[in-house]
């Protein structure tokens, strides 16, 4: 039965974790996957999460099936976070939100729904994009192409190219956009450029799918989510996937969501009914624990304030590590101006290193980043930074 089955390549991001785990180098540093570690190199268990879990343990509940679309309070909290609890889309009831298995789950539920809705649409992702975007939309049955984004020559964004590609896209094309903290480059377009993107999406009748996996890691929750308001103001219907993996440090709980902004409450009801079919036929209904934790934190004012404080601390530490990386590389003898690292935002730095250099970093020094040169700055700390800088300096 399986004689013709070929060995698939390792996942370009999660596959690195397997390689890292098997590496016996005691100095190894994992800058591959997008995970935040504290200054002691530990994965944080946020205090707000611990407080919510304590409350849950004090009043233990049996675990029946959740509704197909998840915990109602969770879905409401996601809507509030994405659109604003008092915003017109939420109060008018025209947002369909479903709890999903992480941000990836939100993308896949949206992709499967879109495939039924418009099977011949093409998907455009940024060049480059999160490695899994292409694979996920391809596996959902779409032809995936890209729009220009990163400009290696200027270490910035080829915005003219991006806009031209959006303007050349046929009506109905699904455009995957990173709402903030672009993965992998760390370069976001400006507010004024977002206005132009929104106008192009509208003028060309494109379908925007905003991936918001890093809200709070750029400039703040409101600042990073501001782009949503621009799409709402333009009167567009669009998709938003949400992830709490990073912002709650709940990677393994797979807590995410999908929100679809519709024309009316009645339309949102029909869309929701279809999203539920996608979920039911894939994994039936989501798990309880992570969603309960997030809903409780977002709905309890003291816990929410604590979460925002803890999220802010993660954001500030990442920014400090960016500066330390720039200074450390200089001190380690790198002649090239690496200050672009502090202009990037979010968890990643697109270092500009080649695949060969990244492979050398891995094999000779146990420093893991992706082949594309992406490094997770959120995994740097005061103990590993010098080693990482010295290793990079040796391969440059």
Closest CB 32 distance from ligand LMR, rounded Å: 7
Residue of closest CB approach to ligand LMR: 34
Cα(110)–Cα(294) distance, integer angstroms: 21
Q: Is 129 in the site for ligand LMR (CB under 6 A)?
A: no
Of the residues 69, 75, 112, 211, only one is catalytic, namely 211
Q: Which of 183, 185, 241, 249 binds ligand LMR (CB under 6 A)?
A: 183
Closest CB 103 distance from ligand LMR, rounded Å: 7
- Considering only CA atoms, which of 387, 254, 382, 282 is closest in space to residue 332? 387
> In terms of CB distance, is 132 or 185 closer to ligand LMR?
132
Residue count at the site for ligand LMR (CB under 6 A)?
7
Do 126 and 147 contact (CB within 8 A), yes or no?
Answer: yes
Do 264 and 94 contact (CB within 8 A), yes or no?
Answer: yes
Site string for ligand LMR, 52-81 (x = CB under 6 A): ------------------------------
Of the residues 112, 130, 307, 371, only one is catalytic, namely 130
Q: Which of 34, 186, 225, 257 binds ligand LMR (CB under 6 A)?
A: 34
Do 49 and 250 contact (CB within 8 A), yes or no?
Answer: yes
Q: Is 33 in the site for ligand LMR (CB under 6 A)?
A: yes
Closest CB 297 distance from ligand LMR, rounded Å: 21
Site string for ligand LMR, 139-178 (x = CB under 6 A): ----------------------------------------
Q: Is 344 in the site for ligand LMR (CB under 6 A)?
A: no
Active site residues: 130, 211, 246
């Amino acid at each position: 039965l399986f004689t013709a089955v070929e060995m698939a390549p390792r996942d370009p991001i999660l596959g690195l974790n397997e390689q890292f785990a098997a590496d016996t180098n005691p100095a190894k540093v994992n800058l591959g996957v997008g995970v935040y570690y504290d200054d002691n190199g530990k994965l944080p268990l946020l205090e707000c999460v611990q407080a919510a879990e304590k409350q849950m343990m004090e009043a233990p509940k049996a675990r029946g099936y959740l509704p197909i679309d998840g915990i109602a309070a969770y879905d409401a909290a996601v809507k509030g976070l994405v659109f604003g609890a008092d915003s017109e889309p939420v109060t008018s009831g025209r947002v369909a939100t479903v709890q999903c298995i992480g941000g990836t789950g939100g993308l896949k539920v949206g992709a499967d729904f879109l495939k039924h809705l418009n099977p011949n649409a093409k998907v455009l992702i940024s060049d480059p994009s999160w490695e899994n975007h292409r694979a996920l939309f391809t596996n959902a049955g779409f032809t995936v192409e890209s729009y220009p984004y990163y400009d290696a020559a200027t270490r910035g964004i080829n915005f003219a190219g991006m806009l031209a590609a959006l303007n050349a896209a046929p009506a109905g094309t699904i455009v995957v956009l990173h709402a903030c903290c672009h993965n992998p480059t760390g370069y976001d377009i400006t507010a004024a450029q977002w206005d132009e993107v929104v106008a192009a999406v509208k003028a060309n009748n494109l379908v925007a799918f905003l991936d918001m996996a890093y809200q709070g890691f750029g400039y703040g929750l409101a600042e990073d989510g501001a782009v949503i308001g621009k799409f709402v103001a333009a009167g567009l219907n669009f998709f938003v996937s949400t992830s709490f993996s990073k912002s709650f440090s709940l990677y393994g709980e797979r807590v995410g969501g999908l929100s679809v902004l519709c024309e009316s409450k009645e339309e949102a009801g029909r869309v929701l009914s279809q999203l539920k079919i996608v979920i039911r036929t894939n994994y039936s209904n989501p798990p309880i624990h992570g969603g309960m934790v997030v809903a409780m934190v977002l709905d309890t004012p003291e816990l929410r304030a604590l979460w925002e404080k803890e999220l802010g601390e993660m954001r500030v530490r990442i920014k400090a590590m960016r500066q330390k990386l720039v200074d450390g590389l200089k001190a380690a003898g790198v002649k090239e101006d690496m200050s672009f690292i502090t202009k990037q935002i979010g968890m990643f730095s697109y270092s500009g290193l080649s695949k060969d250099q990244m492979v050398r970093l891995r094999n000779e020094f146990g420093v893991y980043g992706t082949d594309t040169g992406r490094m997770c700055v959120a995994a740097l700390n005061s103990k590993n930074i010098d080693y990482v800088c010295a290793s990079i300096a040796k391969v440059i």
